[in-house]
Amino acid sequence: MMNGKLHAAEHLPNAEDLLNPFVHRLELSTTYDKIKTGVLTVAVLPFRVAAIMVLLVLAWLLACVGLLGLSEDDLRSRPMTGWRRKLTPVICALGRSTYRAGGMSLVIRGRQATRSEAPILVVAPHSTFLDASITYITGFPSLIVRRESGLNPFIGKLINYTQPVYVWREDPNSRQNTIKEIIERATSDLDWPQVLIFPEGTCTNRSCLITFKPGAFYPGVPVQPVCLRYPNKLDTVTWTWEGPGALKLLWLTLTQVHSSCVIEFLPVYHPNEDEKRDPKLYANNVRKLMARALGIPMSDYTYDDCRLITRAKRLNIPGAAGLLEVQKLRGRLGLVNSDAEEKILSEHRHLFSKEGGKISYKQFAKLLGIEPSDGHLQQLFCLYDKESSGVIDVREYIFEVLVISKAKKTSDIIPIVFQVFGSGEDGSLSQSDLPGVLQHTLGMAPMEVAQLCSHLDKTGKAHISHDELTKFLQHKSDCTGLFSSNQWNLKNSLSTECLLSTGSSKTE
């Protein structure tokens, strides 16, 4: 520390270096990639799509035939036998063929255990809807899926043929009932298919293994870990909370000359007595084993963190995925259940107007009441010190914390904007500060901000009040997206349908 400034290069990691498994960046950066994609879009894509559709329709028809005369209760009460069971390898062969038709090879390493050896298959990392390949490779094991997925007239038939364990979201006892059914399937003497589970519960970018949910480990039976890799030069498959959408990924994957997926079956893991008694211990030890095999670290991110991103997305908060690091570090610092940030806002208001809210690391530590030597605090400071200048705008930090804890809808953000960034005597926003504030807090496009500033210029006002800004935004068609979450909801609605029966999704 020198002159109140922290030398970030010596003490802090750059914000970009902090691991975030829910972000994926994908751009065609070279002229060659752009030309190749354009040519293959015209010359190859239509034929690949046609071949995939034909193969999927054939698989669907066979599934429809195999399900004739079977009710949902039949599928849940006993395993399929006879000619219905013999259709499974044929449907799986058609499923594998869809990947070959799309230019992707499936490379198998190791040996799949039998059901008697390992009733449960634990698959990770889960990063894309293309992970559905594992279901065709492993012979249609039973999946853990939302009930709504099975109602889909097309994909639902293929899902139902796996005799899945359904999660009933409207049932308050859904979690307990799901665990109970997993235990019954895994310990049954009947010839059920193996149960396949993605224990992470959501998609990541494969940079680490996030916390495993314990559902697969409650039965206390041996499990077989299965690792997935996509060793391609251009990663066109990863589907995370912040990144390209499903259709873009599918398009770019189908316009590659060739891509591959490596599926590695690890040796069966037999739990010891401590692990049988403690499913979370069992899950964590299996995760350690898989992380070593994959050569990637573990992270304490969980599926609950995805809910935070979902909420931030619905609120149209720019850089929503970055809030995960903020919340994790606040949790480690004991700030999540405190009102430290609100106290700063009420008791140290003078700092917000002084030099645009710029404070040093030493001041930041003093405001939060935490020792400057705390490594987690240093990382938190670094997230907002994007230029390694040794100072941050404390208003940005306070704003994001208050929004994530208080805002329920996008319109709730506007009062917080004025509360934190307001500089006039009545808490209004100055016209000079307005462009930067609106782009940072509401994610408004420069054109929208310019339009608003142009409107203010005509009125001759130096400041804008909360009511004036709200009224302006609500009456401008270009800005109505700030008060709607339709785009995010549309992406959510696509998530289940695009998974091709993987049994989990970004919105699971």
Q: Are residues 169 and 232 in the same domain?
A: yes
Q: Is residue 23 part of a domain?
A: no
> Could you tell me whether strands 223-229 and 259-265 are parallel, antiparallel, or unpaired per DSSP bridges?
antiparallel
Whether 297 and 313 map to the same domain: the answer is no
Judge contact between 187 and 171, C-beta under 8 A. no
- Which of 238, 266, 301 is the last residue before a domain boundary? 301
Tell me, yes or no, whether 240 and 316 share the same domain: no
Q: Give how many domains the chain has, as a whole number.
A: 2
502 within a domain of the structure (yes/no):
no
pLDDT (tens, 9 = 90+) of the chain, 508 residues, equals 333 333 333 333 443 344 678 888 888 888 999 999 999 999 999 999 999 999 999 999 999 999 999 988 899 899 999 999 999 999 999 999 999 999 999 999 999 999 999 999 999 999 999 999 999 999 999 998 887 777 888 888 999 999 999 887 667 777 888 899 999 999 999 999 999 999 998 899 999 999 999 999 999 999 999 999 999 999 999 998 778 999 999 999 999 999 999 999 999 999 999 999 999 999 999 999 999 999 999 988 776 666 666 666 655 565 555 677 787 888 888 887 788 888 888 787 777 666 678 889 999 999 898 999 998 899 889 888 878 888 888 888 888 888 777 766 666 777 777 777 776 555 667 666 666 666 666 666 667 777 767 766 666 666 777 777 777 666 654 454 444 443 333 333 333 333 333 334 443 4
Q: What is the pLDDT of residue 174?
A: 78
Residue 68 shares a structural domain with residue 215? yes
Examine the domain organization and report whether 279 and 316 are in the same domain: no
Based on the domain organization, do 316 and 281 belong to the same domain?
A: no
Give the DSSP letter string of 171-201: -TTHHHHHHHHHHHHHH-SS-PPPEEE-TT-
Q: Is residue 278 included in any domain, yes or no?
A: yes
Residues 6+ apart with CB under 8 A from 120: 182, 186, 194, 195, 196, 197, 216, 219, 221, 222, 223, 224
Based on the fold, state whether residues 261 and 333 are members of the same structural domain: no
What is residue 15's predicted lDDT score, i.e. its pLDDT? 38
Could you tell me if 291 and 420 lie in one domain?
no
User: Is residue 466 included in any domain, yes or no?
Assistant: yes
Which residue is listed with tokens 């054939």? 58
Domain of residue 414 covers: 307-491
Q: 470 and 375, same structural domain?
A: yes
Q: Is residue 215 part of a domain?
A: yes
C-alpha Rg value of the chain to the nearest Å: 26
pLDDT at 316: 58
* CA distance readout (Å), 399 to 65, 186, 391, 444, 482: 57, 48, 17, 16, 17
What pLDDT sits at residue 78? 93
Backbone angles phi, psi at 13, to 5 degrees: -75, 155
Of 279, 301, 323, which one is at a domain's C-terminal end?
301
Distances (CA, A) of 345 to 88, 91, 352, 397, 419: 62, 61, 8, 11, 8
Q: Determine the residue type at 42.
A: V
Q: What is the pLDDT of residue 99?
A: 97
pLDDT of residue 474: 63
- How far is residue 480's CA from residue 445's CA, in Å, rounded to a whole number? 12
Residue 224 · residue 125 · CB < 8 Å: no
Same domain, 360 and 451: yes
pTM of the model: 0.69
Q: Is residue 31 part of a domain?
A: no
Looking at the fold, whether 257 and 394 belong to one and the same domain comes out as no
**Largest Cα span, the chain:** 82
Cβ partners under 8 Å of residue 291, min gap 6: 208, 209, 297, 298
Q: For residues 402 and 475, state if they share a domain.
A: yes
Instruction: Kindly tell me the sign of the dihedral angle through the C-alpha atoms of 129, 131, 135, 137.
Output: positive
Ordered alpha helix ranges (H), 260-302: 273-277, 279-294
> Partners of 358 in the beta sheet?
393
Residue 123 within any structural domain of the chain: yes
User: Is 409 a domain residue?
Assistant: yes
Domain end marker among 301, 331, 355: 301
